[in-house]
Amino acid sequence: MNAVRDWGQRLLASFGVISGLVWLMGCQATIAPQGQSVQVSQVISGQTLEVLDPTQQTTSTERVRLLGIDAPDWNHQQPWSIEAKERLEALIGEDRHVLLESDVEPYVESEREMQGGSRLRLAYVWHGQELLNETLVEEGYGVASSRSPNLKYEQRLIHAQEKARLLGIGIWNPTHSMRQMPSEFRDEIGN
């Protein structure tokens, strides 16, 4: 009987915490996203896209990294990396149009982050009124990973991560959790 009561108390406490997080998120002012509308040509990973030249003057593409999140490494952290990529593709949908919203520093300066010498754009990615960076973290497909000075949605992403962690979904699932955060994994293998 005590085990049932303890389980019920834990369930009630978890519900209270989750309700509080939902309430806090609902209290945040809704800000209309500002940015550049682009068409996604390819989803590279759970945190990287290629978009077509928005000026439509060339057929070139630009690589975009989602700001404020870190998703599992594509080559080594499976199945989580595959699931993150597939979820991002589903969120983008068939119309393939998204809005890219920049923050303070819109491009990566670090040689380590740049792929083959090309620059990497950093952006918050919106599909309609949905911030895809936040959705991926909230559903457990990545972790909040803010890097100063790009902190515009830092609190939203932290709240999304806490919700996923408390619910035990995605990479936070206690029966099938990811053993290392993506950044720790990359540091270990030297990428």
Distances (CA, A) of 118 to 12, 98, 149: 51, 22, 22
Q: Domain extents for the chain? A: 1-30, 31-189
Task: Give pLDDT tens digits for 81-102.
Answer: 899 999 999 999 999 999 999 9
Task: Give pLDDT tens digits for 143-178.
Answer: 999 999 999 999 999 999 999 999 999 989 888 766
Q: What is the mean pLDDT of residues 43-65?
A: 87
Cα(62)–Cα(74) distance, rounded to whole angstroms?
19
Cα(176)–Cα(75) distance, rounded to whole angstroms?
19
Please name the fold of domain 31-189.
Answer: OB fold (Dihydrolipoamide Acetyltransferase, E2P) (2.40.50)
